[in-house]
Amino acid sequence: MKTKWEEVLSQEIAIKYKAGIYSLCHLLYFALYLLSQQKNQIGLLQLAEIVLLAWLVNHLQVYLGDNFDEADQISGKWWFSAIICSILYLLAATLLNWFEGDKLATLGFGFFQLFCYIGVYINNKIKRQIDSRQLNQQLQDFKKRRGNHHD
Amino acid sequence: MKLRLEEISKGQEEVIVRYRQMNATIQAICDLVQKPDKKLLVSSDGAQQYMLIDDLLYFESIDGKTFAYTEDSVYQVHHSLKDLVQAYQDRGFFRAAKSLVLNLYRIAHFKSQSFGRIEATLDNGEKVLISRKYAAKLRQLLREGVADED
């Protein structure tokens, strides 16, 4: 049985995976922004900011927002949590000056984040459908194994 | 199906089943004869009776008492969930929550839920939610045929 410590550790690992996904999304957006500005380099500090911010917001998302991107369906609470987290990203990006005062790019980042949440939600839903199919196949195989024992 | 009983005064008791084709009823008779220990003493309204283990959908512990559920009835059992899992895990009984032991052979289908949980729909249509902790053990059991002990 898992100890409390192991449960926290397991949750932390899940958050880190999640943070990895969102960091990659942010990096993609940031890279597209930089390319649009005729730049093809990103600073290590900005890279660290992207990862750290995703890690922090994901803690809020998991512990306060009921891990909404893994929810069964999109509800009013889902939209509320997703919009709040997107605003947090947007504010952080403004404070850290990621887009050098470009309001359109900053606002676009907020909408992009919302789009990412919907994308991750759909992805998780498809993943669960596949998982259900696999579980039911394994259940049938499990039942058949017993039938074979009896033969 | 014709039933013929013959009383004997000495020698070993035996059951001979003459069948044209193996079916569920014949198989149930075979199971009953070959595995007499797979019945459980249960009680309901003061009366006691033996139930075939395979007829039970799940065991549940409520306020220190253990209950066995069939498709349409509930009986009290005088064993702990821990003892029941140990005794009947080879019959597909699996701990699905702290207070619940499910019969995997009486699960109609699964539905994967968010946060790693699994919803199990039983043969009688009842739905049970298995937490992530127990779902991990269930996945292992389905995959490998055995699950790690707690």
Using CA atoms, how far residue B139 sits from A13, A123, A137, B136, in Å, is 20, 21, 12, 5
Question: Nearest by CB to B110, which of A2, A139, A145?
Answer: A139
SS3 category, A134: helix
Q: In what order do the strands lie in the sheet with B107-112?
A: B107-112, B118-122, B127-130
pLDDT value, residue A71 = 81
Give the rounded percent of residues in chain A with a pLDDT score beyond 70.
95
At CB < 8 Å, which residues of chain B contact A? 27, 31, 92, 104-105, 107, 109-115, 118, 133, 139, 141-143, 145, 150
The 3-class secondary structure across chain A, one letter per residue, is: CCCHHHHHHHHHHHHHHHHHHHHHHHHHHHHHHHHHCCCCCCCHHHHHHHHHHHHHHHHHHHHCCCCHHHCCCCCHHHHHHHHHHHHHHHHHHHHCCCCCCCHHHHHHHHHHHHHHHHHHHHHHHHHHHHHHHHHHHHHHHHHHHHHHHHC
Which pLDDT tens digit goes with each residue over A118-138?
999 999 899 999 999 999 999
Interatomic CA distance for residues B77 and B83, integer angstroms:
11
pLDDT value, residue B149 = 54
Which residue did the predictor score with more confidence, B89 or A35?
A: A35
Q: What is the dihedral of CA B123, B129, B130, B133, to 10 degrees?
A: 180
- Per domain, the residue ranges of chain B are 38-144
Mean of per-residue pLDDT scores for chain B: 86
- pLDDT of B114 > 60? The answer is yes
B38-144: CATH number:
2.40.50.1020
Q: Quick check: A89 and A53 in contact, CB under 8 A? A: yes
**CA proximity to A105, closest of A23, A24, A29:** A29
Mean predicted confidence (pLDDT) in A54-58: 92
- pLDDT of B28 > 80? The answer is no
CB pair distance less than 8 Å for A71 and B142: no
pLDDT value, residue B44 = 85
CA angle A15, A135, B96 (to 5 degrees): 75
CB pair distance less than 8 Å for B112 and A132: yes
CB pair distance less than 8 Å for B107 and A139: yes
